[in-house]
Structure 1
């Protein structure tokens, strides 16, 4: 399905990673908000894409098959979005499985650090909080831990949980070896997709962002994001122009926990559907799932 006109939210998460809603629910929300298209970009997995595409066909919303890959550069976690990837590419799926194994090891170490800090929490408790069985191709992330911390009174809300315990400079954070942004961009291209640097404003280091753009050479950059201020958007638009990059936008929707939407609500950051054609032209395959 292709969307010729309208607005698109190109960064959303579902139950396949650390979102609160099913992929189909994300698509239905997009329809309610009047969006022409939505991307499913779960962390290191494409497990939710087919369900979303099927729902998109049913309700008339174009679904972009996507992924958000975890990388490391300059001492920071850097995320690379991949659009129109071939979700059946066996090499790509094996690579994503390896990233999920790394994430699982990181999770166990973070739980151990939380326990050392006197926080009563277990990995079994975090998984039980999902309210369902975790599939092998799905991931557990820091928002799931944060949810438990809030429910048990260790934090006021999700943001407080990250600030006090789980964020990059917080005491329970664990850094693990990850692939580089260059490798992520290569993997995405080899899976027929288009790589885009996610939310550059979150990294707090524009010199690093510039180095990543030079070395990894993504096709695009997420200029509009729920955590970007207007001045950030202006700065990254200028970067996109200077490097000849596709400009994307996304809410980074994860759903609501304790009544608070994490990052932004679906449709809060959008670009024209014309961007979909730019992303398709920059990909090798066109995204079959």
Structure 2
């Protein structure tokens, strides 16, 4: 069994539409996927469904802050049409729209002229502006766009709306989700990491993304052990964006390379069922 539970589409900063991602996953024989766009559920309800060879699990990746740390929280199996959750994500969307146009204006002040009449359809981000900078010849690649203009404290940077991790965890759990700490190996792993997990568990964290392209084998093993020790559900995925090279050509070799084996995938599914039964009893 193949699974990939961390995938982005054109509804945030991915290169492929949801239907294109699903078709690629089917061709690769991936049985379970989750579309986890940044701060938006816009893809859901906007792709073909009803396949008998692939299961699409509702997902989202929410950008949060906790005690000065930027934490990304993945969520699975929540109601993609939960009104309070959608209202929260709308706050992100409105802020992203405003921030997008501010950055375009900042670049205009630097005599960098980019169109802002056709912005991305749902989750506006710096990656979209980086692509415009490449397309119009101002930088050679994504890395250069961020290093010169778009990264924190660079000349065109604008701050964004921040949500407390605890608020996000509460909203995701209320929508029936399984909140998971995403790609902890990128910036978070240190001597205090287990203490962070303990604190977040109190506020609703239920899982840890163990399998991710940024995790070396030794780190993956440590996260696996920590998840087991702290009774956190294990997840994994490729963080697939349809990565772009310096010429904006799609690089499509990572989908399905990181995920859960059949044992862990079934464990996640059983955990979701038991959680739904628990939540149902708690509200009756």
**Short-chain TM bin:** 0.7 to 0.9
| TM-score, length basis structure 2 | 0.83
Checking the alignment, whether the CA contact within 8 Å between 1:76 and 1:203 is kept in structure 2 is no
Q: Max radius of gyration: which structure?
A: 2
Checking the alignment, whether the CA contact within 8 Å between 2:33 and 2:56 is kept in structure 1 is yes
Q: How does 1:85-234 map to 2 (within 5 A)?
A: 85-124=78-117, 127=119, 134=121, 138-168=122-152, 170-204=154-188, 206=190, 209-217=193-201, 218-234=205-221
Secondary structure in 1 matching 2:147: helix
Residue 282 of structure 2 corresponds to none
Question: How many residue pairs were aligned?
Answer: 269
Report how far residue 151 of structure 1 moved: 1.4
Checking the alignment, whether the CA contact within 8 Å between 2:234 and 2:268 is kept in structure 1 is no
**Matches of 2:271 and 2:105 in 1, distance apart?**
41
1:49 is aligned to 2:44: yes
Report how far residue 115 of structure 1 moved: 3.8
Residue 51 of structure 2 corresponds to 58
**Matches of 2:175 and 2:200 in 1, distance apart?**
16
Report how far residue 41 of structure 1 moved: 0.8
Report how far residue 40 of structure 1 moved: 0.8
> For the structure 1 residues 50 and 117, does the alpha-carbon distance in structure 2 shift closer, same or farther, using more than 3 Å as the test?
same
Residue 276 of structure 2 corresponds to 284
| 1:165-224 CA distance string (max 9 Å, x none) | 333464433333411111111111000111001111222553565454222221111111
**Matches of 2:254 and 2:109 in 1, distance apart?**
35
Checking the alignment, whether the CA contact within 8 Å between 1:13 and 1:252 is kept in structure 2 is yes
Checking the alignment, whether the CA contact within 8 Å between 1:39 and 1:66 is kept in structure 2 is yes
Checking the alignment, whether the CA contact within 8 Å between 1:74 and 1:208 is kept in structure 2 is no
**Matches of 2:75 and 2:106 in 1, distance apart?**
32
Secondary structure in 2 matching 1:271: coil
Residue 251 of structure 2 corresponds to 261
Report how far residue 117 of structure 1 moved: 4.7
Range 20-29 or range 187-196, more displaced: 20-29
Checking the alignment, whether the CA contact within 8 Å between 1:254 and 1:261 is kept in structure 2 is no
14, 22, 29: which one aligns with 2:9: 14
1:27 is aligned to 2:22: yes
Range 193-202 or range 240-249, more displaced: 240-249
Checking the alignment, whether the CA contact within 8 Å between 2:206 and 2:232 is kept in structure 1 is yes
Q: Tell me, which stretches of 5 or more residues in structure 2 are unaligned? A: 279-284
> For the structure 1 residues 63 and 199, does the alpha-carbon distance in structure 2 shift closer, same or farther, using more than 3 Å as the test?
same
Report how far residue 267 of structure 1 moved: 0.6
| TM-score, length basis structure 1 | 0.82
